Amino acid sequence: MPDSYGSAGASARAHYHALHATGRTSRLLVLLTVALVVGALVALLSTLWLGLIAAALTCLTILVRRRRTHTPAAAWRKGAAGERATARRLRTLELAGYTVLHDLAIPRSNANIDHLVIGSTGVFVIDSKKWHRRTTLRAASGTLWIGRQPIDKVVRPVLFEARRAGEVLSQATGRRVDVTSIIAVHGSRLPRFRVITARGATLLRAARLIGFITRRPHRHDVAEVSALTTAATAYLPPYAQAPDLPNPRGSPS
């Protein structure tokens, strides 16, 4: 089978489209009403052409503001964009012989794995985050905070996903499989030249992801990588193709 399967961000994109479709008609009516009112007022005070231009500019302004406004749908769209950005970086690993799988379902769970990497240096569950460029890292009240969230809350989902992936692969292969948890961050001002470790998970800039994985000690030979890949594709299917699964975990980004 190919080294990469599944579609990065597929479940996040599907959830975004579902949320975006809700109330679309009412949003469109509000947009047209506001544009028509503004256009009519400008036309009465000036000319018909200026009224038409004002209506068009009003529509454009509202659409741009909506796209920049933080909503549940926008969060899922941003999350999908982060997953696709990470997938592009992971293509380098595929060329180096690693297996890269995207957007995987976890049996008996509503969680999904953004990216699973299997290679000579180990097995990695990677959670993609696309944060605002002003998101900062700070220590306060005896804990580390990422923006307004304690770091424990940020790393808890990927730790769970890595643990479950390890259990599934261990049972399928008949040997213990340790899985490394990584959070790859796009956009935020994280430390440029270091990684952050919290409760066993590693948080780093997405630009450092490939180096972090390839520089780790050798753990698996070719046969082991092949066996792990076979197990992963058999028991961790693409989320979009898994039947009767609930929506992925509630936080997309």
CA 140 to chain centre: 27
Q: Specify whether 194 is located in the same domain as 84.
A: yes
State the Cα–Cα distance between residues 76 and 248, nearest whole angstrom. 11
Q: Report yes or no: 82 and 186 within 8 Å, Cβ to Cβ.
A: yes
CA distances (Å), 152 to each of 66, 128, 143, 157, 207, in order? 31, 16, 9, 9, 23
Confirm whether 247 is domain-assigned. Answer: no
Instruction: Tell me which amino acid residue 152 is.
Output: D
Q: Are residues 54 and 113 in the same domain?
A: no
Structure confidence at residue 70 (pLDDT): 54
Predicted pLDDT of residue 4: 45
pLDDT value at residue 191: 67
Q: Are residues 89 and 45 in the same domain?
A: no
- Return d(Cα 233, Cα 38) in angstroms, integer: 56
For each of the chain's 253 residues, which pLDDT tens digit applies? 444 445 654 554 544 444 445 556 676 777 778 778 877 887 778 788 887 888 788 877 777 676 655 555 455 455 577 788 899 999 999 999 999 999 999 988 888 899 999 999 999 999 998 887 777 776 666 677 777 778 888 889 999 999 999 999 999 999 999 999 999 988 777 766 577 888 889 998 899 999 999 999 999 999 999 999 999 999 998 887 655 444 444 445 5
Contact 231, 172 (CB under 8 A): yes
- What is the residue range of 109's domain? 4-8+72-241
Pair 85, 206: CB distance under 8 Å: yes
* Residue at which a domain ends, from 26, 47, 68: 68
Strand order in the sheet with 149-150: 137-140, 143-146, 149-150
Residues 106 and 210 in one domain: yes
Q: What is the DSSP letter of 130?
A: E
Instruction: Give yes or no: residues 61 and 151 share one domain.
Output: no
In a shared domain, residues 218 and 138: yes
Q: How far apart are CA 101 and CA 7, in angstroms?
A: 8
Q: What is the pLDDT of residue 58?
A: 80
Domain count, the chain: 2
114 and 143 both lie in a single domain: yes
What is the structure's pLDDT at 160?
A: 94
Would residue 252 count as lying in a domain?
no
Q: E strands within the chain?
A: 4-5, 99-105, 112-119, 122-130, 137-140, 143-146, 149-150, 179-186, 196-198, 201-205
Contact 225, 218 (CB under 8 A): no
